[in-house]
Structure 1
Amino acid sequence: MSKFKTTFYTIETGKIPGLKRPWRLALLADLHNKSYGPDNRLLLEEIRKNHPDGILIAGDLIISDRKKQEVHKDAAYQLLIALAAEYPVYLGNGNHEHRMREFPDSFAGEYDSYIRMLRSCGIHTLVNGHLTQQIGGALVTIYGFELDFSYYKRFTRKPFAVTCLTDALGTPDPGHYNILIAHNPVYFPQYAKWGADLTVSGHLHGGIIRIPGIGGLITPQAKLFPKYDAGYFEEQGRSLIVSRGLGSHTVNLRIFNPAELIFIDITNRQEDITK
């Protein structure tokens, strides 16, 4: 797997009426320490070519292996450092980062050094946290939600309540445009009910094998034909964008399922913007 596709989505909102042009965000997920050319040159070139205003990271840029007590990180670290030098970067944890944090003894305190590196570069580490800023004269809040490792166990789907989000993040202000970075997309109905105007996710690797006309075949939790496998979804008037991911792990296989870099243009609903 040496290539990736670039996908564009447009999200319209009435919550940012002062936008004069699309606010463009790049979405990266599930790199799993892969490098597209030396120092991820090809990936960086594609990002630069499309001039994003910021970068959303939806988790699993690294590989953490608890059995081997190993972390594979160098390509991911180099990419993050390069991105942070040019763009605002908003990062949420995936299950691989969470594993490092949850089991520090297995990884010799690697998570703490990881977070220090990110923060030293100016990366916004949104681990059950949030950041509010002004975009187009309106308030936009970006949240990062870290799902507990118990929700990632194979052959199970643990019940998930909206209170899990309010306990971790509080209640979003409905007057803000609220973006939620949530690595696992399967709980999108709860994310939407909580108040996320836009949720960005990854984790499912597009279903690993995609069947034309049907979609992704299987999730990392071994669930067949996942609903939120990849692409754009809308429920309760709220949006979800799921990345197919940029790398792979454990099952190093992609069929009809190229790796993916995503750009999201958030626009004023009243504007007539064409690409």
Structure 2
Amino acid sequence: MVNRKIFRKYRVLLVVTLLLLCFGLYWGDNAIKTDYISISSNKLPEAFEGFRILQISDLHNKEFGESQSVLLRKIEKAQPDIIVVTGDLIDSRRTNVGKAMDFIRGAVKLAPVYYVTGNHEGLSGEYPDLEQQLIQAGVILLKNKLIELNYKGATINLAGINDPVYEMMTGDYQGLSEKLILEDLLEGIKEDRLDRYTVLLSHRPEFINTYTLYGIDLVFSGHAHGGQFRLPFIGGLIAPGQGLFPKYTSGKYNRKNTTEIVSRGLGNSIIPLRVFNRPQIIVCTLYSGSSDTIER
């Protein structure tokens, strides 16, 4: 009788533990976290003081509420001046342009949206349809181009480059390494930069040294999914293009005069689960002044 009681207690404890584990995994995979980063630079015009850039990356067709309502409420609360999307809006294994456009149609009502491709746009085979719908919705596509971003009478540069895999699948870069493709794309926008502060949207974080070589001031990237599984005191476990224990997975990285901001992204691809790695949106606020950066 005593043994049966003990067995029942352990069984109840096991069931409760499994339920808590399942809830924790679900919560960690679906509870969006908004992280705030402040960037200061003497190159920034005073007019851009307090300018807010909200970054969305690696949605991979994930759905947050009906018609992306949960995600859109988070964005609205952050009150961004612009929204930048750094690739993999869709997933090549389960492409759903409708889910991607649910987000886009809501986002363009909140702020101007700027977009660059990720590798999954190149792999999906359905990007032409997505691109047409993005244009119709009013999204500004930064396909290997640089534009002037004007605000309160002042100007900075906003540039974007396609993902190297996208270029391999749709362009004239077959047979070249991803690094060489990226360098050629950056070379193409170099002459238009003048001496203005330059923000670059590029899906790949692992090429930070190349961005530094080309004198980019601020880079927004994604792709690494935060390392998928984040270990205490260690960080991400694995990331495409970086392998085990990747170096660039989440937050802010400085190389000389270049700052790179890497989003953990929102969705998943090959591995359908995140651990200690909640979906993320980033709000970056610009300040004119010293080049120190503050993260909070």
Q: Which interval holds the TM-score relative to the shorter structure?
A: 0.7 to 0.9
Q: Counterpart of 1:219?
A: 239
Contact 1:64–1:97 at 8 Å: present in 2 too? yes
Encode CA deviations 1:19-73: one digit per residue, 9 max, x unaligned: 26400011000011111111111111111111100000000011123xxxx6222
Q: Tell me, which stretches of 5 or more residues in structure 1 are unaligned?
A: 101-106, 153-157
Q: Counterpart of 2:37?
A: 9
Residue 84 of structure 1 deviates from its aligned partner by 1.2
Whole-angstrom distance in 2 between the partners of 1:262 and 1:240: 12
Q: Counterpart of 1:112?
A: 128
Q: Does 1:99 align with 2:118?
A: no
Q: 1:63 to 1:227 in 2, by over 3 A?
A: same
Moved more, 32-41 or 162-171: 162-171
Contact 1:11–1:266 at 8 Å: present in 2 too? yes
Count of residue correspondences: 257
Whole-angstrom distance in 1 between the partners of 2:55 and 2:81: 11
Whole-angstrom distance in 2 between the partners of 1:166 and 1:22: 28
Corresponding letter in the other structure for 1:215? G
Contact 1:13–1:267 at 8 Å: present in 2 too? yes
Q: Does 1:72 align with 2:91?
A: no
Q: Counterpart of 2:163?
A: 147
Whole-angstrom distance in 1 between the partners of 2:106 and 2:187: 34
Q: Counterpart of 2:267?
A: 247
Q: Counterpart of 2:210?
A: 190
Q: TM-score normalised to the size of structure 2?
A: 0.80
Residue 17 of structure 1 deviates from its aligned partner by 2.8
Q: 1:42 aligns with which of 70, 74, 85?
A: 70
Whole-angstrom distance in 2 between the partners of 1:222 and 1:177: 29
Encode CA deviations 1:86-132: one digit per residue, 9 max, x unaligned: 311010100111224xxxxxx3xx32222121111211011112221
Secondary structure in 2 matching 1:48: helix
Corresponding letter in the other structure for 2:39? I
Q: Counterpart of 1:30?
A: 58
Q: Does 1:258 align with 2:278?
A: yes
Q: 1:86 aligns with which of 110, 118, 125?
A: 110
Contact 2:61–2:267 at 8 Å: present in 1 too? yes
Residue 164 of structure 1 deviates from its aligned partner by 2.0
Q: How does 1:139-178 map to 2 (within 5 A)?
A: 139-149=155-165, 158=177, 160-161=179-180, 163-171=183-191, 173-178=193-198
Whole-angstrom distance in 2 between the partners of 1:22 and 1:72: 36
Q: Give the percent of matched residue pairs that are identical in Structure 1 and Structure 2.
A: 32
Residue 15 of structure 1 deviates from its aligned partner by 2.1
Q: Does 1:123 align with 2:139?
A: yes
Secondary structure in 2 matching 1:255: coil
Whole-angstrom distance in 2 between the partners of 1:20 and 1:178: 13
Q: 2:248 aligns with which of 223, 228, 234?
A: 228
Contact 2:123–2:166 at 8 Å: present in 1 too? no
Moved more, 250-259 or 24-33: 250-259
Whole-angstrom distance in 1 between the partners of 2:186 and 2:160: 12
Q: 1:151 to 1:133 in 2, by over 3 A?
A: closer
Corresponding letter in the other structure for 2:204? N
The runs of at least 4 consecutive aligned structure 1 residues that moved more than 6 Å come to none
Contact 1:129–1:169 at 8 Å: present in 2 too? yes
Residue 183 of structure 1 deviates from its aligned partner by 0.3
